[in-house]
Structure 1
Amino acid sequence: MIIGMGSDLCNIERIRNSLDRFGDRFEQRVFTEIEIAKARRRPFTIAGTYAKRFAAKEAFSKAVGTGFRRGVFMKHIGVVNAPSGAPTLALEGGAAQRLAEMVPHGHEPRIHLTLTDDHPWAQAFVIIEAYPL
């Protein structure tokens, strides 16, 4: 059963401006080490890479119904790739705790994430499913 759903649209140029203005401080405050490493391997599309991940973090915060409150922080939500290559989320801290609070007894969470971009926009959709054990 679906227990959460969120979406977000992010302007790639806004992320580019934050990178130009704040550089490493912006990256370290918002993104995980895995996300930073991936973006730096893509120097010509670094802003788009970050914008999709920024949108995914926003979409997850909407899917769990808290926004960035109650211990849910951007740095605790990381976009990673499943063995199949599909994007998914790795959670820690308050983000992982909030997800655990939402899942009914006898179920496990499954996070579905899709990312896309078409300059100047990046978009993410998150669906959180409670799957019976």
Structure 2
Amino acid sequence: MIIGMGSDLTNMDRIAASLERWGEKFERRCFTDVERAKAARRPYTRTGTFAKRWAAKEAFAKAVGTGFSRGVFHKDIGVVNAPSGAPTLELAGGAAARLAEMTPEGHEAVIHLTLTDDHPWAQAFVIIEARPS
């Protein structure tokens, strides 16, 4: 059953402005080490890489129904790739706690994530499914 769904559309120019204004401080505050390393390996699409991940974090915060409150922080939501290459989320801290709180007993949460971009837009959709354990 679906227990959460969220989407976000992010303007890449806004992310570029934050990167230019705040630099590494912005990166460290909002992105995981894995996300920062991936963006560093993509110098020509660095801003788009960050913008898609920003959109994924925003979509997840909507899917769990809290936004960025109740202990859910940007850095606790990390975009990673499954062995197949498909993007998914790795959660820590308050983001992981919120997901556990909303997952029905006897179920496990499965996060489905899709990312896309077309300058100047980056978009993400998150669906959280509860599957019987």
In the superposition, the TM-score normalised over structure 1's length comes to: 0.99
Matched, 1:91 2:97: no
Q: Tell me which residue corresponds to 2:125.
A: 125
Matched with 1:57 is 57
RMSD: 0.4
1:74 aligns with 2:74: yes
Cα separation, 1, equivalents of 2:67 and 2:105: 24
Deviations 1:30-72 (A, max 9, x none): 0000000000000111000000000000000000000000000
Q: Hey, what does 2:6 align to over in structure 1? A: 6
The one-letter code of the counterpart of 2:21 is R
Aligned length: 133
Please give the TM-score of this superposition, normalised by the length of structure 2: 0.99
Please give the alpha-carbon distance, in whole angstroms, between the structure 2 residues aligned to 1:30 and 1:82. Answer: 21
CA distance in 2 between counterparts of 1:89 and 1:75 reads 11
CA separation in 1, counterparts of 2:106 and 2:25?
41
The percent identity for this pair of structures is 75
Q: Where in structure 1 do 4 or more consecutive aligned residues deviate above 6 Å?
A: none
Look up the match of 2:46.
Answer: 46
